[in-house]
Chains A and B, each alone.
Chain A
Amino acid sequence: MKTSNLRRLILQNLGRNKKNFIFSGIGIVAGISSFVFFVALGSGIKRVVATEIFPLDANRIQVVPAAAQFDAWIGGRTIDDEALSRLAALPGVAAVYPRMKLAVPATMALIGSEFPVEDLTKLAELPGMTPSMVEAVRKLQIWMEIMADGIDPRLVKGDAAFGVFADPPAGRPIPVLLSKRLVEIYNSSFAKTRSLPPISELLIPYVPSLPLTLNDSYIDRGIAGPKLSERIKIVGTSHQALLGGVTMPLDTVRRLNRFFGGEAAGRTYDMAVLEISSSDKLSAVQPAVRRLGFDIDTSQKRMAESVAFAVTLVTLGFTLLSLAMVAVAAVNIAHTFFMIIYERKREIGLMRALGASRRDIRSLILGEAGLVGATGGVLGIILGVGLCVLLNVLAGRLLPDFPFKPRQFFGYPAWLFAGGVVLAVVFCLAGAFSPARRAAKMDPSGTLSGR
């Protein structure tokens, strides 16, 4: 039978059995819409984990000094300038960015009443700023232990949107970057409960420089040596910045470490971030790094993978549930088709008498099932996406703010739409397979004579 003729017959038959097919198709629509919903939800959450909570660059690895003592003899235990040169020379390594921790403790006292009046006035004029927020800033009294590290400015290129991220001249405040994750946690929980203004791109330029006392601790009162008073200025936020502290330019930390610990304290780094020229070189670079006597810090990656795995597991559970719904719908499709071919057996016999082959009959039944599946799949996708959009709007309006609350709870991978339709068609074809075989095997002489 010609494809165009088959198509016409399929449409003709579907039109006649609309009620049956609509009833059977409801299950497919429900199953596919829930499949789309759960996959989109899982995808959305995984996107938040990968881009907001644990942002990972596949082309970067973090090299740390080896933990085992016996590595010392091959010279790989500490990361110094020579080690950086050796790492940079490895095939596949495009760049090396060292990081250094501030070697002394530091404290910060945020006393709102000490903020310059003109800064508070500017703050009050910002859009979205309420009088209660300005009042909360004015009454602010926080004493904090501060951790800090230094980072190669090339690694955070573009993140310092509100100042120059480089070791400042004497008397100028030290530019610092805040962790985007830290800012998110501060904004959605700490600031909210204390009526403080959220840290945003709008606010950062107006945050005054803040006092920082180096070689000082509220916890350890026995620290020896002189204290050093500096001021810091927030110049931006970065995924590369230290989660529980502030990140300064590498040269600043090197200078400060030398000041407190002598020349040697400014020579060793705590970590080197290696940029790999392409991800396919990664598998070759990692063992080469280990051969040089260094370790690769995978804690961040492992955490991200654990969270992603947990999300995948939960999503998979719900996805399987939705697939079970589609499978039940396929059983319903099978019942419908068994009923239909029973009702149409004389018609099938007649078609055989008029020249339809067994294959034509099989194609006709499977074609009808395929079209029911495709239609159900498309409707299921529309319903599923509609549900996602609706819930996204409701979640945005009704759910209270929480850390990393996404604007988009749902993600729609490109394969999802094609996959939804294919899944619906496959299940419908599977459901109709047995009825189609039975219809094709019907004895035309028997059906025409009513046997």
Chain B
Amino acid sequence: MIRLTNVSRQYGRGEEATHALRSVSLDIPDGAFVKVVGTSGSGKTTLLNIIGGLDTEYSGTAEVAGRDLRDMADRELSRFRNLTVGFVFQHFHLLDHLDARQNVALAGFFSDGDVRQADERAEEVLVRVGLRDKLHQLPGRLSGGQKQRVAIARALFSRPRLVLADEPTGNLDTRTGGQVIGLFQSLSREDGLTVVAVTHEDQLFRQADLSVRLEDGRIVEAGRR
């Protein structure tokens, strides 16, 4: 369960301040497939960063699995990101000098497991996202859809309970975007993962369990399918 209570976030101070989120309260049940929609600058990415423990400079309370994220020290929060959360980014953020398997196994460097286990797990998740034959390809030789699949595999590496996807289809064509969304749906349905996907392409995420619309940092609409 993810619970946000009166969460606000502003960048800068005084007259220059920008309010990214204003008193946002939201409950997301475990295993839900959630889409967060809104125009650019509406606070979608900020919301995702706060849930994922990447941003702690907010007011209000953000709880994930019963833990207040701001109560966690840096080390604990890092462990939370490593084991509980998987991130998927619009620009993939794959490291160009590492092949697909090495990119996926990167999270393994920050866990307690050993390298061989990390490589095996990386192969397993790459197979799961349909990239069995691309294990040793460098990102430069992959298509946009394949890159995003590698990024999704990386997010799944640590067997997280929560996947946070920021505009996961933003750099993909409609057909490939649809395939990626299908992958998220199956992760949510079959593996019981909570998936929160931020998007401005409302139509692509018709199967979401919960839809949240943000405008100017406020939730203006939240409803179940």
Contacts and interface: CB of A to CB of B under 8 A. Distances in A.
B74 A357 contact: yes
B contact face: mostly helix, strand, loop, or mixed:
helix
A62 to B, nearest CB: 66
A118 to B, nearest CB: 84
Nearest to B154: A354
Contact of B81 (A353, A358, A449): A353
Interface of A: 1-2, 4-6, 8-9, 12, 16, 346-347, 349-360, 443-445, 448-449
A9 B102 CA distance: 11
A354 B75 contact: no
A448 B95 contact: no
Contacts of A359: 74-75
B157 to A, nearest CB: 8
Contacts of B81: 352-355
A350 B93 contact: yes
6 contacts: A4-B114, A5-B109, A5-B110, A5-B115, A353-B52, A353-B87
Contact of B54 (A4, A357, A448): A448
B136 interface: no
A352 B115 contact: no
A448 B112 contact: no
A355 B74 contact: no
Nearest to A450: B91
Contacts of B52: 353
Given A445-B54, A449-B45, A1 B109 contact: yes
Interface residues of B, number: 29
B188 interface: no
Contacts of B79: 355, 357
CB-CB nearest 10 A-B residue pairs:
A355-B82, A355-B110, A357-B78, A445-B49, A354-B107, A445-B54, A445-B55, A5-B109, A353-B87, A357-B75
B55 A354 contact: no
Contacts of B49: 445
Interface in B32-49: 45-46, 49
Contacts of A346: 93
Interface string B109-122: 11110110000000
Contacts of B111: 355
Contacts of B89: 448
Contacts of A16: 97
Nearest to B164: A353
B110 A351 contact: yes
Contact of A444 (B54, B95, B114, B158): B54
B129 interface: no
A285 B74 CA distance: 63
